[in-house]
Amino acid sequence: MADPVIRLDAEQLSVAPGGQTRVGVVITNPGTVVDGYRLEVVGPVAGWARLEPSEISVYPQQDGASTLVVQPPPGTAVLGGRHGFGVVARSTLDPRASATAEGSVEVSVAGSVQAVIGPVNSSGGWQARHRVVLTNTANAVTRLRIEASDPDDTLGFRVTPADVTLPPGGGAEVDVRVMAKKPFLWRSSARHAFRVTGLRADVPNSSMGPPPQFVADGAFNQRPSGWLLLIPAVLVLLAVLSLISPWIVSMVARSPEAATPSLAPLGAPPKPTGLKVTAAGPTSIAVRWDPMEGMTYRLDEVDLKSGDVRNPTPYTANSGIVPNLQPSTEYCFQVHAVRNGLTGPPSNPACAKTPAPPVSQSPSAPATVDPDQPVLTAVYGTVTLDGATGDWPWGNEASVDYPVTKNVSTPVKAKVFLRWDEQAIYVMAQVNDSRLTQSPDGSTIWRGDAVTLELGPERPTQTQTPLRLADRYYMFGYRTPPQFSPFTAPAAKGVLRPLPNFTAFGPALDPTLITAVIAPNPDGGYLLEARIPWPFSQPPTTGMKLAANVNVSDVTQASKTAMISTNPQRFIDQEYPAFWQKLILG
């Protein structure tokens, strides 16, 4: 069987993200019998190109025609620049007979850098601090030089960092410290407007250079530095004290010693309430109780049969992790409130049993794991979002089976796989769920069955606030009814981040920057695959550590919502845990 001959009407194409371009494909049958040819796109564009039709029949010594449709998705999923591809024609009579035509497509750069400054207005006698949050919505890496200036030259600035690199879809935070060059004492407050500008770092700074990538305007309201007027008054007061101090000393020497006030009349502290004890891992238990104003605490391990108390441990906060425990063992605890050296009565005891250690450990996980911060592993490699699991690294899965919410139990189980490359993080969740529930609308994905990836920079300590501006919350749910028609359907997508006041969530990135599909799980339930453009200014490297949790929501009714997590420390009532898991890029 002779190889077919294939050619493209044009070998160099151009297209914008979210746009479409077409080119004709001609296949010649050089043989002596009618042959069919299956057409396939190979190379980097395969995920966003198709052939219409993808299979044709051609008579001997005749030509057949198809059309290559190249349609990159909008947003940052496809980098700007030149991408090579090939169109393969393979005989249906003899798969060994094939031919390939090669070409390239130039994807234009689209999008911009968005900047939000907070606060917009600040005030102080000398200096103030502003924060500029940057988001790169372009489909290309953007390198910026950050500068600040004011038209009246009354302010000085310290910008940290002064140079940032934003990957497609990524973000960064820039600290801008504003300082008044000349303080004043009694004049009324003055408002100084200033501007923070992002310039292309790879272009020399000149009047003929390209326009700024972003501009953020703010203002510093300078108040009188009245404290400077106190200096003469303090000097006068010191002089007066130096004159009368001998008289004060003699009076104190003749007077009887004053009794030290005692706080004992307050009595012993009350009994603590709300003690909750939850296993946090094979060798640790999380404890938590209702806070009491003005108290410190003492946590005791207690034997309920004998009443013996062991390992009394002081606490300054109303929660913590008890480490160095034995697996598969039940532990009981009680807590006392302490005030001014007086210890109150114990709380009602609460117990929990540590789970058994895992039978086997992921081969790419580190040899030792901090039990108080369980590890997730992302394996290097690129995958295709096709509703199939053949390109996922089985053996590196993480179980999602720790219950979080308290109003209803759930039988749902799930396994999660994570991968990464230089451009993105990939998520695959295989969820066993006998009842599938679609979210009521695209803005409240979590109100239906859904998967959430909580992702942020590494947390080197366990004392940081649970919500940080750099944290992202990626949510995926149904956009089509649960019967999955077609077989692999686009997933509903949402991206949230903490608002600047750290008390609520708001939109972070356009959901079109991420791609995701949902397909049926052969074992019942659904299979999610998602691609998230790398969201941080520091590029990914092997061994990099991040903070992450994976959660799976299960909804049966509007008032019946349950959730399971990969994080055993995310115990009941702790919606946004300070103790995030470590995610290691392996």
Do residues 115 and 216 touch, judged by C-beta distance below 8 A?
yes
Q: pTM for the whole thing? A: 0.41
- Give pLDDT, residue 262: 41
- Give pLDDT, residue 481: 55
Q: Is 124 exposed, middle or buried (0-12, 13-18, 19+ CB in 10 A)?
A: middle
Do residues 213 and 142 touch, judged by C-beta distance below 8 A?
yes
- Give pLDDT, residue 271: 92
Compute the distance between CA of residue 553 and CA of residue 446 in angstroms, rounded to an integer: 7
Closest to 350 measured CA to CA, from 33, 572, 576:
572
Residue with tokens 């999602």: 400
Closest to 197 measured CA to CA, from 217, 222, 220, 227:
217
Q: Is 305 exposed, middle or buried (0-12, 13-18, 19+ CB in 10 A)?
A: exposed
Do residues 380 and 421 touch, judged by C-beta distance below 8 A?
yes
Compute the distance between CA of residue 313 and CA of residue 293 in angstroms, rounded to an integer: 19
Question: What does the pLDDT profile of the chain (586 residues) look like in tens digits?
Answer: 789 999 999 999 999 998 999 999 999 999 889 999 999 998 889 889 999 999 999 999 999 999 999 999 988 888 888 999 999 999 988 888 999 999 999 999 988 898 999 899 998 888 899 999 998 888 888 889 999 999 989 999 999 999 998 888 888 899 999 999 887 666 677 889 999 999 988 776 544 556 788 999 999 998 876 555 556 666 767 766 767 766 665 554 454 444 434 434 456 789 999 898 877 566 767 677 888 888 889 999 999 888 888 888 888 777 666 777 888 899 999 999 998 878 889 999 999 888 776 543 333 333 333 444 567 888 888 888 877 777 776 667 788 877 776 556 778 889 999 988 888 899 999 988 877 777 765 557 777 888 989 888 887 655 555 667 778 888 888 766 545 555 577 777 777 777 665 555 665 556 667 888 888 887 778 888 999 888 887 888 888 889 898 988 888 766 667 888 888 766 555 556 667 788 888 7
Task: Using DSSP bridges, classify how beta strands 375-380 and 413-420 pair: parallel, antiparallel or unpaired.
Answer: parallel
- Give pLDDT, residue 559: 63
- Give pLDDT, residue 259: 42
Compute the distance between CA of residue 88 and CA of residue 104 in angstroms, rounded to an integer: 14
Do residues 535 and 414 touch, judged by C-beta distance below 8 A?
no
- Give pLDDT, residue 492: 75
Give me the sheet containing 284-288, strands edge to edge: 276-281, 284-288, 319-322
Chain centroid offset of residue 43 CA: 30
Residues 6+ apart with CB under 8 A from 78: 17, 48, 72, 107, 139
Residues in the chain: 586
Compute the distance between CA of residue 452 and CA of residue 431 in angstroms, rounded to an integer: 12
**DSSP per residue, 273-332:** ---EEEEEETTEEEEE----TT-EEEEEEE-TTT--EEEEEEESSSEEEE-SPPTT-EEE
How many CB atoms are located within 10 Å of the residue 201 CB? 16
- Give pLDDT, residue 160: 92
